[in-house]
């Protein structure tokens, strides 16, 4: 079995290309499917969880994120995120607060 093709994320972390591509498609689908009123809070909540694993998601956004497998139930009432998903999402979003922007997570050679 061959090793998966990896890419270097903007954060310097290496990740499997297939996982980065799948996560990018999932996040874009999420952005297209969530009402604008909930979208900004959901993205902010998700990125805050990536930046601080002790962050508690708002109940309304947790359901959306669980359905897309962007987060997982660690224990009753405890939502967590896979390390690899966390790393890709950290590279995928830039900015603070409601000024978050989705960017290409892959480091490009210049």
pLDDT digits (tens), the chain, 110 positions: 678 899 999 999 999 999 999 999 988 887 887 767 677 788 889 999 999 988 989 888 888 888 888 899 988 888 899 999 999 999 999 998 878 889 999 998 76
Q: Say what the pTM is.
A: 0.85
Helix (H, G, I), strand (E, B) or coil at 52: coil
Within 13 Å, how many C-alpha atoms sit on residue 11's CB side? 16
* Domain membership flag for residue 61: yes
* Domain membership flag for residue 104: no
| Residue 22 confidence (pLDDT) | 94
* Domain membership flag for residue 110: no
Number of structural domains the chain divides into: 1
* Domain membership flag for residue 28: yes
CA nearest neighbour of 24 among 7, 49, 45: 7
Cα distance between residue 45 and residue 39, in whole Å: 10
* Domain membership flag for residue 46: yes
* Domain membership flag for residue 55: yes
* Domain membership flag for residue 103: no
* Domain membership flag for residue 44: yes
| Residue 63 confidence (pLDDT) | 85
- Sequence-ordered list of residues with C-beta below 8 angstroms from that of 70, at least 6 positions apart, any chain: 26, 27, 30, 46, 81, 85, 89
| Residue 109 confidence (pLDDT) | 78
Domain that holds residue 14: 6-95
| Residue 17 confidence (pLDDT) | 95
């Amino acid at each position: 079995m061959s090793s998966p093709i990896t890419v270097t994320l903007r954060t310097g972390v290496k990740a499997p290309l297939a996982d980065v591509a799948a996560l990018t498609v999932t996040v874009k689908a999420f952005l297209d499917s969530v009402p604008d009123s909930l979208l900004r809070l959901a993205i902010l909540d998700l990125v805050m969880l990536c930046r601080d694993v002790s962050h508690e998601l708002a109940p309304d956004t947790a359901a959306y994120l669980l359905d897309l497998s962007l987060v997982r139930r660690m224990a009753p009432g405890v939502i967590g995120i896979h390390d690899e998903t966390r790393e890709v999402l950290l590279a995928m979003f830039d900015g603070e607060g409601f000024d978050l922007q989705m960017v290409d997570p892959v480091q490009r050679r210049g």
